[in-house]
Structure 1
Amino acid sequence: MSHSAAVVDVQTLNKRDTVVSILIIGVLFFIFGFISWVNAILIPYFKIACELTSFQSYLVAFAFYISYFIMSVPASYLLKKVGFKKGMMLGFWAMALGAFIFVPAALVRTYEIFLLGLFTIGVGLAILQTAANPYITILGPKERAAQRISMMGICNKAAGILAPILFAAVILRPTDTELFKELATMSEMERGAALDELIRRVIPPYATVGTFLFVLGILVYKSPLPEINTEQEDEKLATANAGKSSIFQFPHLILGALAIFLHVGTQVIAIDTIIGYANSMGIDLLEAKVFPSYTLFVTICGYLLGIVTIPKYIRQVNVFRICALLGTFFTLMIILTSGSVNLLGHQTDVSIWFVVLLGLPNSLIWAGIWPLALDSLGRFTKLGASILIMGLCGNALMPLAYGYVADLYDVRTAYWVLFPCYLYLVYYAFYGHQVRRWKL
């Protein structure tokens, strides 16, 4: 490593240093979650304020997550060059820059500039994710890595529950329901003025977030987080795969990256489309804003189940299989069931609650794929992890597929997009992860 910070072997860390480091990374995952899941409210908000189609509105998710595809491999080289802590600081600064781009975007109400801001935030997040995921994996005993990943997941999703509600509280007014109804009848000039006022409400929160992220970058750099050594390999790993020369000679990894792509796509669809689906049932934005939080709450319940049961009562691979099958079942229920229900004070069609329930299988699929896809990679492990992080661009492309089908047919029919994704995850959970050579 060519950076100057003192590098420590993770084995030499005492318990207190390990706990402090895990807590700091937990805070990072909370921030990742807050910044990522606020998209659930940004999508319907921009759709109104910038007068967009469903397809255009899901470019929010595209601009944000395509940066993972572009940045994950460069991020791993950056971290190798400057180290984890300086890399994390640069990641936070990129996110801060993205947040500040929202200010001129709002002043001129230009959707493309917002997308640039979201892309820049995504670049920063890609750097942070590339650092934090392996960091938390090796920070402590290997056999408890899944437990630590689940804890980080809880930090991430708890922030996701708060983000849309807090953001909505800051930018939406009780009178907005009337305003949204009146927009169609306003003159061109009145509507322009109303939409300008609406979009400029994002300036104070994003200016604050940008400042906070900039300062946070400095604090992480100055924090007691150790600079850990990820370069060493034992002899067994070094001699494994001696005849392999390319990452593409590991079918189970490439198939795993596709599984990550489809899994994160299904997860983001379950969260980022649910407000629009509630709107289609006549529920306004002010009431619908809580639905992403329901899905995320169910996801947290899944993480807690995982922490308690894996591997004590059930093997991780079996949990992955059950989750893939459950996702397939819930998708069919979204499309095939209907009927009015009153639940948690909402009068809705029963099918929306199956979108909420997708949070349960989605919670443990990520932790199921990673160890299977990285199995026996030896010296290719680091590059393999970057390939899996690239799979996060599924968050960018899958909502666009959903938005495209929603514009063609309707928002409910568009949930068919999930069905082949879960079928593939069933294939990978039962068979795909065992494939060790490509068949011609």
Structure 2
Amino acid sequence: MQKNSNLVAVALITSLFFLWGFALNLNPILIPHLKKACQLTDFQSSLIDSASYIAYFLLPIPAALFMKKYGYKGGIVLGLLLFSFGAALFYPAAAVRNYGFFLGALFIVFSGMAFLETAANPLITLIGDPKSATQRINLAQSFNGFAAVSSTYFGGMFILSGNSLTEAQTAAMPPAELNTFLNKEASSVQMPFVVISLVVFVVAIMVWRTTFPPVKEESAAELKDEQRPLSVRIGELLRNKHLMSGVLAEFFYVGAQSCVSSFFIRFSERVAGFEEKPAANYLAIAFGGFMAGRFIGTFLMRYFNPVKLLVTYTIINIILIICAVNLHGTAAVYTLMGVWFFMSIMFPTIFSLSIKDLGAKTKLGSSLVIMGIVGGALLPPLMGRISDMFNIQIAYMVPCACFVGILWFAVKNLKVKNVEIVAGH
């Protein structure tokens, strides 16, 4: 009976990896869609990423403190309810076609996701046989990758209309007709997000009704460390140069990932003349490369030093983006698609290197590394501003610069031989 209960709990926790991966990877669909429906600049549309990722900066430590008091299950239920509520708000946001409303809804969605990620990554390793903990988290992460592919197809099919207006067509259209067109575009997000909201709410009920096995994770050293003031513990970690360089590297990585993904459809339209639906299909293929890269990278790490692999992959991505910036037509799009494959190992490898040898401070240090995800909130607007000022190809030098920062971190850690890859994103 206990074994069956564990299996249900593991299945539910694994589903969370799919849910947040699905929502996170709808942003590259929402950015061009809301840009059109709300008549935004590239800079304004990039605030979709800002509203999403700022939650990851603000919520990890509060989420950890909440779960310290109410447990993992309480944190997960709260996270799912926030997720469901935020998704439901897309319906009225589309009805009034208010961009600020959309951004507020996204912030609530991703606040929920911050709770889910803070809980699910450690919990999946703590439920069940400790000997199979690594296999469980790798299996769960594979659902995260599958979600990235499926969400892009879902968004391309049910959200993107394939109808775009040039600036000349927009200017020539009568105001009433233009308003009708834009309202129809905005309304296409309503039913997909209502469905997402309902599915997430059902999962929240299932988690609430499921009995989770008791977990004991704190060692004696961790319990002793947690009795000291939080400000003192954070201050010590902020003075840890290795950890802080890892936080910065994760800032660069998530910023690069967001920039590359969020503007891909825009890039494909401008550089290769693709329409938005075919561009979304190419993006889904690129995410498939990311998922394949996770499996292949995990296999290669059995035979090659993960840090050397990180150095190699980063150099390749710098070269690929420089080529994408200088090529034209479909060649530029195909080159850019290759970047996802070589991004696949970066988040978990940087994460694992960052928290290496933290001992009793590992959990709090991990929260600081997760806060580095705020790069996804700050760097896409910079890229959007450069795109508005120059063009989308030149703007892709922003993620290129991010990969240079990651290369600096990787080279600094070349002497590290044993790295236990513990998390992914």
The verdict on a shared fold, with TM-score over 0.5 as the criterion, is yes
Aligned identity (percent) is 30
Q: Which one of 391, 394, 403 corresponds to residue 413 of structure 1?
A: 394
Does the 8 A contact of 1:63 with 1:115 survive in 2?
Answer: yes
- Aligned residue identity for 1:393: V
Q: 1:266 corresponds to which letter in structure 2?
A: A
Aligned residue for 1:67? 55
1:407 to 1:294, Cα distance in 2 relative to 1, 3 A:
same
AA partner of residue 391 (structure 2): D
Task: Select 2:43's aligned residue among 37, 48, 55.
Answer: 55
Instruction: Tell me if the contact between 1:319 and 1:368 (Cα under 8 Å) persists in the aligned partners.
Output: no
| Paired residues, number | 408
Q: Distance in 2 between matches of 1:181 and 1:29?
A: 43
Q: What is the CA-CA distance between 1:14 and the residue it aligns to? A: 8.6
1:249, CA displacement in angstroms? Answer: 2.7
Equivalence for 1:266: 256
How far 1:26 sits from its partner (Å)? 2.3
Counterpart in the other structure of 2:68: 80
How many angstroms apart in 2 are the aligned matches of 1:139 and 1:207? 32
Matches within 5 A, 1:230-379: 230-233=217-220, 246-280=236-270, 281-310=272-301, 312-336=302-326, 338-339=327-328, 348-379=329-360
Does residue 424 in structure 1 map to residue 405 in structure 2? Answer: yes
The 1:172/1:413 distance shift into structure 2, 3 A limit, reads closer
Residue 91 of structure 1 contacts residue 123 of structure 1 at CA under 8 Å; is this kept in 2?
yes
Contact 1:270 1:295 in 2 (8 A): no
Alpha carbons 2:29, 2:160 under 8 Å: kept:
no
Kept in 2: contact 1:149–1:367 (CA 8 A) = no
Change (3 A) 1:77 1:234: closer
Indicate the larger mover: 203-212 or 251-260.
203-212
Distance across 2 between alignment mates of 1:143 and 1:56: 48
Shift of the 246–172 alpha-carbon distance from structure 1 to 2, 3 Å rule, reads closer
Q: How does 1:15-26 map to 2 (within 5 A)?
A: 21-26=9-14
Deviates more, 1:323-332 or 1:100-109: 323-332
CA RMSD of aligned residues (A): 2.8
Structure 2 segments unaligned to the other structure (5+ residues): 226-231, 417-425
Partner residue of 1:110 out of 98, 109, 114: 98
Deviation at 1:140, TM superposition (A): 6.9
1-side partners of 2:166 and 2:175: how far apart? Answer: 15
TM-score (structure 1 length as normaliser): 0.85
Task: Provide the rounded CA distance (Å) in 1 between the counterparts of 2:14 and 2:138.
Answer: 11
Aligned to 1:134: 122
Distance change in 2, residues 1:321/1:22 (3 Å): farther
- The TM-score normalised by the length of structure 2 is 0.88
Residue 140 (structure 2) aligns with:
152
Unaligned runs of 5+ residues in structure 1 are: 1-12, 340-347, 436-440
Are residue 124 (structure 1) and residue 112 (structure 2) matched?
yes
Give distance in 2, aligned partners of 1:168 and 1:195. 18
Per the alignment, do residues 20 and 352 of structure 1 end up closer, same or farther by CA in structure 2, a change over 3 Å counting?
same
Q: Which amino acid aligns with 1:187?
A: P
| Cα distance in 1 for residues equivalent to 2:351 and 2:120 | 14
Does residue 367 of structure 2 align to residue 386 of structure 1? Answer: yes
Report Cα offsets for 1:230-251 as digits up to 9, x if no partner. 222469x97xxxx986112321
Structure 2 residue aligned with 1:193 = 180
